[in-house]
């Protein structure tokens, strides 16, 4: 039994959910998201979204929890939004943005300039004595996560000094250096 799939998704004020032949559309104050689905049935009752599966086969059980989680992320995204924060750890690592262009100085011979999707709002802060922070905000959780992972992949944190781009609050596995 899928415990996640059985939980209903509450629809908050100002959010509308529409279900039409294998497509769920969620509209809210922050935007609109659509998701195709298959293998489950989705219906709206009493201000809640209910996901049901036709049988207990392995495929239907997996999709039951998956689509319930996707609908929940869409509802939360259009009502509250999603945020990811990345921290640049290292001497001379800098980040700045001009509109949707993110400019990263990560110790390579050239700066990395990245054009971001218009749905994602980017904000960079750099205070003296603290590591620069990149803040990504959007109504689409998958898009924010994908862009954050792409930025992190430019310079992953290394295990000896911890230099690189890491998520704020991420615990790194550190290693001891050479023992003299």
CATH of the domain at 32: 3.90.930.12
Same domain, 45 and 102: no
Last residue of a domain, one of 52, 80, 108: 80
Q: Global pTM?
A: 0.90
For residue 21, what pLDDT is reported? 87
Total domains in the fold of the chain: 2
Enclosing domain of residue 24 = 9-80
Last residue of a domain, one of 80, 111, 130: 80
Exposure string of 147-172, with b = 16+ CB inside 10 Å and e = fewer, is bbeebbeebebeeeeebbbbeeeeee
CA pair distance 84, 144, nearest whole angstrom: 7
Q: Per the structure block, which two tokens stand in for 42?
A: 């989705």
CA pair distance 117, 133, nearest whole angstrom: 19
For residue 180, what pLDDT is reported? 67
∠ CA(101), CA(103), CA(132), 5° rounding? Answer: 120
Last residue of a domain, one of 22, 48, 80: 80
Strand-pair category, 48-52 with 9-10: antiparallel
For residue 1, what pLDDT is reported? 47
Q: Is residue 20 part of a domain?
A: yes
Residue that the structure tokens 């279900």 belong to: 19
Same domain, 76 and 139: no
Same domain, 54 and 124: no
Same domain, 111 and 90: yes
pLDDT above 70 covers what percent of the chain? 98
Burial of 5 (0-12, 13-18, 19+ CB in 10 A): buried
Q: Per the structure block, which two tokens stand in for 146?
A: 């994908």
Strand-pair category, 9-10 with 133-138: unpaired
CA pair distance 17, 67, nearest whole angstrom: 14
Same domain, 105 and 64: no
Same domain, 100 and 160: yes
Below-70 pLDDT ranges, the chain: 1-2, 180
Q: Is residue 1 part of a domain?
A: no
Q: Per the structure block, which two tokens stand in for 119?
A: 């749905």
For residue 113, what pLDDT is reported? 95
CA pair distance 172, 44, nearest whole angstrom: 42
Same domain, 40 and 115: no
């Amino acid at each position: 039994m899928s415990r996640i799939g059985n939980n209903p998704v509450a629809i908050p004020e100002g959010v509308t959910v529409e279900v039409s032949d294998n497509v769920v559309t969620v509209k809210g104050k922050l935007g609109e998201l659509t998701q195709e689905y298959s293998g489950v049935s989705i219906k709206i009752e009493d201000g809640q979204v209910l996901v049901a599966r036709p049988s207990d086969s392995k495929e239907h059980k997996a999709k039951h929890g998956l689509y319930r989680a996707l609908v929940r992320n869409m509802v939360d995204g259009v009502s509250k939004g999603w945020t990811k924060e990345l921290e640049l750890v290292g001497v001379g690592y800098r980040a700045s943005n001009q509109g949707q262009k993110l400019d990263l100085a990560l110790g390579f011979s050239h700066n990395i300039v990245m054009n971001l999707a218009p749905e994602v709002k980017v904000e960079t802060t750099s205070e003296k004595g603290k590591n620069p922070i990149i803040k990504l905000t959007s109504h689409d959780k998958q898009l924010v996560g994908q862009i954050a992972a792409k930025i992190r992949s430019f310079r992953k944190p290394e295990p000896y000094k911890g230099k690189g781009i890491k998520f704020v609050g991420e615990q790194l596995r550190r290693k001891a250096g050479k023992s003299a």
